[in-house]
Structure 1
Amino acid sequence: MAGLIVHEWIERHGGSENVVDEMAAAFPDADIHCLWNNAPDRYAGRNVTESWLARTPLRRSKAAALPFMPATWAATKVSQADFVLISSHAFAHHAGGRQHADGPERFVYVHTPARYLWAPELDVRGGNLIARAVAPALRRIDHRRAQDGATFAANSDYIRRRMERAWGVEATVIHPPVRVEHLQSVPSWADLLDDADAYLFSTLPPEFILGASRFVDYKRLDVAIRAGELAGLPVVLAGAGPQYAELQAIADRASVPVVFMTRPSDQLLFALYQAASLLVFAAIEDFGIMPVEAMALGTPALVVSEGGASESVLALDGGVVVDSLDDASLAEATERALTLDMTLAQALAKDSFGSAAFGERLTTWVGRPATAVDRNRTLAS
């Protein structure tokens, strides 16, 4: 057996799954193991195995499965692998239990320590009745398992600090892959829109501020509307979710036009990035993919200082980071962001946050270079 890639659970869409995609590309001979696999065609041709939870109704409820996850991961057999590469945002870093001297090295890429345990104020799941009941015991177990001898990487310095507080471990920072190569391969995404999307795009104002994400409270899309009002610019909100009615009510009261683009296709979202004057991204995220995508396409990003999104904006000098969202601070930051020259940020985005850059950093960290064939595939993607 070669390497073993471990991930919590596999879905059809998800930022952590995108990381696993790049792990699989970097190590094409590695098997993959997860609690359950809801996208069986995602890694076609690979040996993908599931835990016993996949054969139970618990796979349909992460909250109900939560108490069983630590023991399930600890009992996972990893001894036959040459090395174990773990993608963790819940308890996958428990895989294999205590590190044995003659066992395979374990490398854990951490998207975050489980937020519902260690940052419940940022995750509504932390208020779940089951989660609250088991949280104290799970925190003790989680901290203990983090001492079992793995080598850690964090997806941002923000998460590195959370790991240090929660687990008392040190970690290398490796920012997650962003599809910069793909985004920058098309000069004008508007030219690739189908007829329906092209019509929607044609109705947009020539200048606008963009807010894009799921329509949920913590994404703070209301801040995008407020920034538009302060700048006197129309606002476009792209996404969908349970906060739609609330956002529509705010939009109805706004002093500038607010246009909703519900469930935009990837092509339409990319065209919106290119056309927008500014992306306002006020969510507190572990890393924040969307600001990097916008900057890669030449659009500045306004983000808050708390969370990982500020790291990419500061690294590329491709936007403005704000400590406060009061009107005076937001107005000043919006005005400043709208005047930025994005030429250098756009040029730096691929080497700083692209998929190929992630693959190189990942294999250097693990100490096992990717094959020449695979490097070519990554660089061409």
Structure 2
Amino acid sequence: MANVTLASNLANDPRRFGRVALVHEWLVTYAGSEKVVEQILQLFPQADLYSVVDFFPESQRGVLGGRHATTSFIQHLPRARKSFRSYLPLMPLAIEQFDLSSYDLVISSSHAVAKGVLTGPHQVHVSYVHSPIRYAWDLQHQYLSEAGLQRGAKSWIARALLHYMRIWDQRTAHGVDAYVANSAFVGRRIRKAYGSDATVIYPPVNVERFELCEQHQDFYLIASRMVPYKRIPLIVEAFAAMPSRRLVVIGDGVDFARVKACATPNVTILGYQPDDVLVDYMQRARAFVVAAEEDFGISVVEAQACGTPVIALGRGGSREIVVDSPDPERGTGLFFAEQSVASIVDAVERFERQPPLKAEVCRRNAMRFSEERFKHEFLAVVERAMDAEKGFTEVPAVARRWHSA
């Protein structure tokens, strides 16, 4: 804790970092990327905040230090509050309109366009990348399929817009001085999309707020937004094929009707639940089930912080969070290979056959992802970037002698 307090004091020293701007895509809900913003603002409390739109709930604005972001013209367009994502083609233009020329350090929290802000050679730009624009890069075909845009005129318009987004995204990649990836999985995406290496710093998770529970009940749990890539209906279908296994589903979203249609008597669908209810179920569950290819997976960490093992798809960020081992002294869960009913069923049955995994081992693994660790590692990257900029812009001694001669 002492290291983090010292780090915060250093970050708040204007002589060390000068004026600081923090740029985030959009401020609408308090989710994973906003938790990163919260921690960066705690680390740099003097920072000014910028966002394409800011519709953040006033009741939760304390996590932003009470700030209201400087916003773009999209904030004032028709139906922006409910449909701001439909203005994605305008967001590259919007993000470039922020005048950040007076700042010494610019930090972007980016999963779409934030890293594209304009900075000059005298400024340092550190970008924390949650992911390159998924729907414009490796997941384009998946998103077009889920949106029903595989054929026809609308499909070609969408493909042209995504092509434009890729060109813009790759071109603006050169304006970043230091990339930070939220997982090694995303780091590989950054390398493929931008041709740059990234330092991996896992997102901050408030693991301390979860209590260890060693007495788990006889039900499995999935808690997630019900959007297509999360594959919640697939998990429900798998448990429908295992009538002796109970599943509790918490969450809401566009796939809610599909999830409800798949449910059988052994599946309980609770819909959206407040945080205290979610944590209670997470602590009591036999295991937490995840079928999405996650960039990281904060809920996977939170489940383990409760002492709850995780059954997850063996791709993406989950591979960096879950220890797949039947050894109770090491293991915190297990992986399944495919997004299929058969693969999930096989994983659950393997989990039932192996020795019980220890709650304290799961929690110890989760402690690797604390907020304190995030602050310490992120500040170290910023300091290195600032030192590198000073070394680059400082006139070498030989050159000074030549000019003075």
Deviations 1:161-199 (A, max 9, x none): 111111211111111112211123xx67x9xxxxxxxxx
Match of 2:197 in 1: 170
Indicate the larger mover: 77-86 or 22-31. Answer: 77-86
Match of 1:277 in 2: 286
Indicate the larger mover: 149-158 or 310-319. Answer: 310-319
After TM superposition, give the deviation of residue 67 of structure 1 in Å. Answer: 2.3
Amino acid at match of 1:51: S
Deviations 1:207-234 (A, max 9, x none): 1111221233332224433257448321
Match of 2:98 in 1: 76
Give the alignment of 1:48-63 within 5 angstroms.
Answer: 48-57=69-78, 59-60=80-81, 61-63=83-85
**Is 1:218 matched with 2:239?**
no
Match of 1:101 in 2: 121
**Is 1:90 matched with 2:117?**
no
Q: Secondary structure at the match of 1:8?
A: strand
After TM superposition, give the deviation of residue 3 of structure 1 in Å. Answer: 1.0
**Is 1:323 matched with 2:337?**
yes
Deviations 1:44-81 (A, max 9, x none): 54463112322333734334422222133234222211
TM-score by length of 1: 0.82
Maintained 8 Å contact 1:58/1:65? no
Deviations 1:148-170 (A, max 9, x none): 24210111111111111112111
After TM superposition, give the deviation of residue 125 of structure 1 in Å. Answer: 6.4
Maintained 8 Å contact 1:107/1:151? yes
Maintained 8 Å contact 2:239/2:246? no
**Is 1:11 matched with 2:41?**
no
The whole-number CA distance in structure 1 between the counterparts of 2:185 and 2:50 is 28
Deviations 1:308-361 (A, max 9, x none): 1221113984111221355664344324435222322212312x1122221221
Maintained 8 Å contact 2:233/2:258? no
Give the alignment of 1:1-381 within 5 angstroms.
Answer: 2-39=19-56, 41=58, 42=61, 43-46=64-67, 48-57=69-78, 59-60=80-81, 61-96=83-118, 99-102=119-122, 104-118=123-137, 119-123=139-143, 124=146, 127=149, 131-184=158-211, 206-225=217-236, 226-227=238-239, 229-230=241-242, 232-252=244-264, 257-314=266-323, 317-325=331-339, 329-338=343-352, 339-350=356-367, 352-367=368-383
The whole-number CA distance in structure 1 between the counterparts of 2:262 and 2:316 is 25
Q: Secondary structure at the match of 2:263?
A: helix
Indicate the larger mover: 33-42 or 266-275. Answer: 33-42
The whole-number CA distance in structure 2 between the counterparts of 1:337 and 1:310 is 17
After TM superposition, give the deviation of residue 11 of structure 1 in Å. Answer: 1.2
Amino acid at match of 1:35: V
After TM superposition, give the deviation of residue 85 of structure 1 in Å. Answer: 0.8
Instruction: Output the aligned Cα RMSD.
Output: 2.7
Maintained 8 Å contact 1:113/1:163? yes
After TM superposition, give the deviation of residue 289 of structure 1 in Å. Answer: 1.4
Q: 1:325 to 1:79 in 2, by over 3 A?
A: closer
Maintained 8 Å contact 1:278/1:300? yes
The whole-number CA distance in structure 2 between the counterparts of 1:178 and 1:71 is 33
The whole-number CA distance in structure 1 between the counterparts of 2:299 and 2:26 is 23
Q: Which runs of 5+ in 1 are unaligned?
A: 191-204, 369-381
Indicate the larger mover: 28-37 or 336-345. Answer: 336-345
The whole-number CA distance in structure 1 between the counterparts of 2:279 and 2:68 is 34
Maintained 8 Å contact 2:180/2:198? yes
Amino acid at match of 2:140: P
Maintained 8 Å contact 2:74/2:84? no
- Report percent identity of matched pairs: 34
Q: Secondary structure at the match of 1:36?
A: strand
Maintained 8 Å contact 1:116/1:126? no
Maintained 8 Å contact 2:39/2:375? yes
The whole-number CA distance in structure 2 between the counterparts of 1:11 and 1:244 is 21
Q: 1:149 to 1:12 in 2, by over 3 A?
A: closer
Amino acid at match of 1:247: V
The whole-number CA distance in structure 2 between the counterparts of 1:140 and 1:163 is 14
Amino acid at match of 2:375: G
Q: 1:236 to 1:47 in 2, by over 3 A?
A: closer
Q: 1:247 to 1:101 in 2, by over 3 A?
A: closer
Q: 1:65 to 1:140 in 2, by over 3 A?
A: same
Q: 1:28 to 1:345 in 2, by over 3 A?
A: same
Q: 1:75 to 1:248 in 2, by over 3 A?
A: closer
The whole-number CA distance in structure 2 between the counterparts of 1:335 and 1:163 is 36
Amino acid at match of 2:336: V
Maintained 8 Å contact 2:130/2:295? yes
After TM superposition, give the deviation of residue 133 of structure 1 in Å. Answer: 3.3
Aligned length in residues: 344
The whole-number CA distance in structure 2 between the counterparts of 1:18 and 1:291 is 15
Match of 2:6 in 1: none
Q: 1:52 to 1:243 in 2, by over 3 A?
A: closer
After TM superposition, give the deviation of residue 13 of structure 1 in Å. Answer: 2.5
The whole-number CA distance in structure 1 between the counterparts of 2:148 and 2:176 is 28
